[in-house]
Amino acid sequence: MIHPLSGVFAAALTPLKIDFTPEVELIPQYLSHFENGGCHGALLLGTTGEGPSFSNTERIMIMESALEYKHSHPYFKLLVGTGTTNIDETIELTQIAFSKDYDGVVVLPPYYFRMVSDDSLFEWFRAIIENAVPSNKYLLAYNIPIMTGISFSLDLLERLKEKFPLRFAGIKDSSSDEQFSRELGDKFGDELLVLTGNDRLLSTALNNNAGGCITALANLYSHLSREIWDGFQQPMNVEKTQQKLSLLRDLLERYSPYPPILKVLMNRIVGFPLSSVKPPLRNLDEAVIDQAVEQFNLLMSSSE
């Protein structure tokens, strides 16, 4: 059985004007670009989308901007990040997302108070699911310990899955931990939806019962991720494609954090208007931009 949210998702960039306000008119064009590149859907307002940098008012504007595309492309799945550091706003944003017919939400743990127990995290997610997630919709927990300082335990995931077998779909795993990817597969099989956040681990994750990926590189190179995902459904040998995607991920990690470099590449490679990033992120210097564009283009041309 393939989960309705299985597949390749772009961790979508959020286009911004020079004054740092969302350029919402471009978001449907971004979504069209992702779908044409092979994505099954997109995640708005994740880490790559600078989600925590926006006010709730801005988040709602961004959510609404995608609805035109959603209505005309109903099979393209839309996820949105609704996690904040307080439970009331997280519940409110989650309710709004589902009122606008988003397919699922991706929710960070409460990343200000980091030294909390599994019991505390269980109660956090229990309250969100019971108050905001309809019976036919899905919540994914967002495991990104490098940003939140919180790692999800297998026991916590098991408790949430047992309590909410449908509404708690699973996890967006951006831990970049290969061993954890294997442990998820060993523990849950395909009963827990796992979407890896690391392109380098896509084949490993799929080999361990993951359902797909949500990645930053899918803004540009989703055709490679889709080729790998399709290859596991066939099955087909996708080792060379995975090697290429891994090299691109290695290169991307030299320019962390990702939004500034990805926005430049969306301009230089795809042709979208150049977008700003929101403070505390900063736009890149021209010398760095020229070097990065040359490296990405060279890597793609040399590995074809």
Domains of the chain: 7-238 (3.20.20.70)
How confident is residue 156, by pLDDT bands cut at 50, 70 and 90?
Answer: very high
Whether the pTM exceeds 0.85: the reply is yes
pLDDT score of 196:
98
pLDDT score of 267:
96
Q: What proportion of the chain, given as a percentage, has pLDDT over 70?
A: 99
pLDDT score of 115:
83
Max CA distance (Å), the chain: 52
Amino acid symbol at 284: L
Q: What proportion of the chain, given as a percentage, has pLDDT over 90?
A: 93
H-run or E-run covering 215:
strand 212-215
pLDDT over 80 at 304, yes or no: no
CB 79 within 8 Å of CB 104 = yes
